[in-house]
Amino acid sequence: MTTPDNTKKLISEIKNVDSLKAVRVAMELNELQDKTTGQLIDVVKTMDANMKLLATKVLELEKRYERSSN
pLDDT of residue 1: 63
**14 and 23 Cβ atoms separated by less than 8 Å:** yes
Report domain extents, the chain.
39-70
How far apart CA 54 and CA 59 sit, in angstroms, is 9
pLDDT score of 63: 96
Alpha helices in 1-70 (DSSP H): 3-13, 17-69
Q: What's the whole-number average pLDDT of the chain? A: 90
Summarize pLDDT for 23-40 with one digit per residue, the tens.
Answer: 889 889 999 999 999 999
- The pLDDT score that the predictor gives to residue 61 is 96
More confident residue, 48 or 21: 48
